[in-house]
A and B are shown apart, each in its own frame.
Chain A
Amino acid sequence: MKNNIRVERAILNISQAELAERVQVTRQTINAIELGKYSPSAVLAMKIARVFGKKVEEVFELEDTD
């Protein structure tokens, strides 16, 4: 699953740690998601999208391999 969390973070000008705090996970979790090493649960994906004021599909995108 692809995502544009890094871009969205840049728009809001928040760090991984700040985003992590807002969705109540660790910074490593946000890092793992950004690097595509971990696909978040539906709940976490929705929480992240809500921080950016976007729909989940605007932040996360399915890939052919998913």
Chain B
Amino acid sequence: MNNHLLLSHRWKTLGWVLTIPALILGLYCMVMEVTMDDYLQVTLPQGLERLFWIDQSIFGNTQKPVTLALLDELIAIALLSGLLMLAFSKEKVEDEWIQRVRLDSLQWAVLINSILLIAFMVFTHGFPFFNVLVYNMFTPLLIFVARFYFILHIKPSFSKN
């Protein structure tokens, strides 16, 4: 069974290498409320800021040149691309049952994520909802990967047949 949207199996290793540190670092920064704006600062050359969509008022001044802090972007991009590699690379033996588990897991992830999001919409108001949205950028893929790997690799070890 051929699925042309899947990456080859070797992308999984890079997926883990990106996901685990980015997940730990990201959660640490979110939970400990680390101010990420202090790290990896890059000053844009004059004129280049026109290429970016920047709300300068949040930087406290409208002076040029503009300085960006790239740590949060770096963590988010590493986490998203790592999770994508884990979610959409082939297993060693890719067969029709695995394709079914993949589709099931995708449906599970969308369903659980939507239920959680609705619950948080009801119970979270004001600025804390921004945090919900930050987590929500990653939860669909996180739930998908967790469920997919649980069915494929963890559940069989409970029920040896």
Interface of A with B (CB < 8 Å)?
Answer: 16, 24-26, 28-29, 31-35, 38, 40-41, 44
Distance to closest chain A CB from B97 (angstroms)? 4
Q: Determine whether the beta carbon of A29 is less than 8 Å from that of B95.
A: yes
B96 x A28 contact (CB < 8 A): no
Task: Check if B91 is an interface residue, CB within 8 A of chain A.
Answer: yes
- Residue ID in chain B nearest A31 by CB atoms: B161
Our count of residue pairs bridging A and B at CB distance below 8 angstroms stands at 32
Most A-side CB within 10 Å, residue of B1, B97, B98: B97
- Residues of chain A within 8 A (CB-CB) of B93 are 24-26
Asked whether B6 is an interface residue with its Cβ less than 8 Å from the other chain, the reply is: no
Closest to A26 in B: B93
B100 touches A38 (CB 8 A): yes
